[in-house]
């Protein structure tokens, strides 16, 4: 079973690339983030022609998450337990599904903008709600994972130069503490190690030739319980999907599982 997560940075702008990637990589399940479209505008027909069912939590503007599956979709949950809002709006940032017995959440964690900004406070509150949702859904016997754009680099080694991020979001202690809370809830950070690259970054800014210079960050993460992690046979960052004109600024993270071995 092949499961992937990808911040597509607008599913409509990236649709040709998404369809091409689905055809070549052949994932069974894909968690998408930053759709930038509402549910009615999601290209369900186009991905459906490739055999994928769609669960979508989209509201337009800058957010939105979805799960594509060709192995079934069940137990669909939109939003976290007691999910906080920002400026009076509950943003579309999380969706949970069950695919072939595997429970998955596609999440798009708030960016935080700047340390001390109200959006940073919102980010930390949102992560608390994610932690509560993970605790509520814990089941050691069922493979379970939270996948998506966490907008947090777990360690200093997960950014190209930690000194370039001094005083910035994505690397602060409170944000990383939220990831530690997920670990304390029984989830493990599955670190994909692409064979050719020492540091498997998943995001590179569009500016200042960040991708060619490999000035990236690992912020697209997979946090999984033991039942999921023990079934992993391979994992990688698909850097090829980040190359060329019209690419998302994120690359897909792909995880292969052998569920039958459990």
Q: Is 119 annotated as a binding residue?
A: no
**C-alpha dist (Å) from residue 257 to 85, 166, 182, 231, 235:** 35, 37, 21, 5, 9
Q: Is 258 annotated as a binding residue?
A: no
Active site residue 108: yes
Q: Is 249 annotated as a binding residue?
A: yes
Active site residue 250: yes
Q: Is 53 annotated as a binding residue?
A: no
Q: Is 7 annotated as a binding residue?
A: yes
The C-alpha atoms of residue 186 and residue 35 are separated, in whole angstroms, by: 29
The C-alpha atoms of residue 106 and residue 64 are separated, in whole angstroms, by: 10
Helices 173-184 & 118-137 angle (0-180, nearest 10): 10
Q: Are 109 and 133 in contact (CB under 8 A)?
A: no
The residue from 149, 158, 220, 238 that is catalytic is 149
The residue from 28, 52, 131, 250 that is catalytic is 250
Q: Report the catalytic residues.
A: 108, 149, 250
Binding-site residues for Mg(2+), in ranges, read 7, 34, 149, 151, 249-250
Binding-site residues, in ranges, read 7, 34, 149, 151, 249-250
């Amino acid at each position: 079973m092949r499961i992937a997560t990808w911040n597509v940075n607008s599913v409509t702008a990236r649709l040709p690339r998404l369809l091409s990637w689905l055809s070549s990589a052949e994932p069974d399940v894909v968690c998408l983030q930053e759709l930038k479209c509402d549910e009615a505008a999601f290209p369900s027909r186009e991905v459906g022609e490739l055999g994928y069912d769609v669960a979508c939590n989209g509201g337009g503007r800058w957010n939105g998450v979805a799960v594509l599956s060709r192995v079934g979709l069940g137990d669909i949950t939109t939003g976290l337990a007691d999910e906080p809002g920002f400026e009076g709006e509950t943003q579309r940032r999380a969706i949970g599904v069950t695919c072939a017995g595997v429970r998955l959440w596609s999440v798009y964690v708030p960016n935080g903008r700047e340390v001390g900004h109200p959006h940073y406070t919102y980010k930390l509150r949102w992560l608390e709600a994610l932690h509560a949702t993970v605790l509520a859904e814990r089941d050691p016997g069922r493979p379970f994972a939270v996948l998506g754009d966490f907008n947090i680099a777990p360690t200093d080694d997960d950014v190209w130069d930690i000194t370039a991020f001094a005083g910035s979001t994505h690397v602060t202690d409170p944000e990383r503490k939220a990831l530690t809370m997920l670990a304390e809830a029984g989830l493990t950070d599955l670190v994909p190690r692409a064979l050719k690259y020492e540091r498997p970054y998943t995001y590179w800014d569009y500016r200042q030739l960040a991708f060619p210079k490999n000035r990236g960050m690992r912020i697209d993460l997979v946090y999984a319980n033991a039942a999921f992690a023990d079934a992993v046979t391979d994992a990688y960052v698909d850097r090829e999907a980040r190359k060329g004109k019209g690419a998302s600024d994120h690359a897909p993270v792909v995880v292969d599982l052998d569920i039958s071995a459990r």
